[in-house]
Amino acid sequence: MTAELKPNERLDDLQRNGYRIIQAPERFCFGMDAVLLSGFARARKGDWVLDLGTGTGVIPILMEARTEAARFVGLEIQEESADMARRSVALNGLEAKIEIVTGDIREADSLFRSASFDVVTSNPPYMIGQHGLANPEGPKAIARHEILCTLEDVVRQAAGLLRVGGCFYLVHRPFRLAEILVTLTKYKLEPKRMRLVHPFVDKEPNMVLLEAVRGGRPRMTVEKPLIIFEEPGKYTREVRELYGN
């Protein structure tokens, strides 16, 4: 299928199953955090998976390529991003497995049935407030800062939409880790697995990957750190494998 690109859009190769994705650099392009989350998250055969704040749909597309989940739904509030996601889904012939819904994360419980998903993923805005933003209404600001939703909004909705025993997967920043863990347990999402991501082996972590189970028992495994670069400009073998190289 031929991609129909709008002005300022480009087509990127996802290095998985021949899949491609439509993006607009002037708006926002997915980053490594989304790729790492799609590799960290687990979905079993037949699972229903919801991605909160899906952007251009990269996480559902990458997870469809590496899991046997039955159905993926991406929820995105920005219509321009949702439109790119839908066109990417169609471009890859995935309309039967991936649905993109335009809507507000804060109102997700009015869009979907309670406890209707086995897995929920989210790569939410990391930064608090609007400090230093030249254009708080811009698409990049909305993706990076808690302007249209907060961490608690995301966690609350994930908890309500997961079945008991279902898994929530999150990528975030370590400086908010204490707040994240408290918020997860507040909504009965028990942290079960954590992995810190370091740019280099001798640098402090700049991302954290988390798995939490709705109604799970207290016990968390901290996995070995994920190191991004062997040396400047050269990914580690594990990261290269995540990118399909």
Backbone angles phi, psi at 170, to 5 degrees: -140, 140
Dihedral through CA 158, CA 164, CA 170, CA 173, nearest 10? 90
The domain limits of the chain are 10-242
Q: Which residue has the tokens 């309670």?
A: 114
Res 26: pLDDT: 84
So what's the pLDDT on residue 134?
Answer: 47
Sign for the pseudo-dihedral over CA of 180, 211, 38, 56: negative
pLDDT of 85 higher than 50: yes
Answer whether residue 139 shows pLDDT above 80: no
112 vs 122: CA distance, rounded Å:
16
User: What band does 133 get if pLDDT is binned at 50, 70 and 90?
Assistant: low
Mean pLDDT, all residues of the chain: 92
Cα three-residue angle 109-115-117, rounded to 5 degrees: 95
pLDDT at 119 over 50: yes
What is the reported pLDDT for 115? 98
Number of Cβ within a 10 Å radius of residue 129: 10
Pick the CATH number of 10-242 from 3.40.50.150, 3.20.20.70, 3.30.70.260, 3.40.50.300: 3.40.50.150
The mean pLDDT of 178-192, rounded to a whole number, is 98
**CA distance to 3, 4, 24, 124, 242, per residue, from 8 (Å):** 14, 12, 6, 24, 28
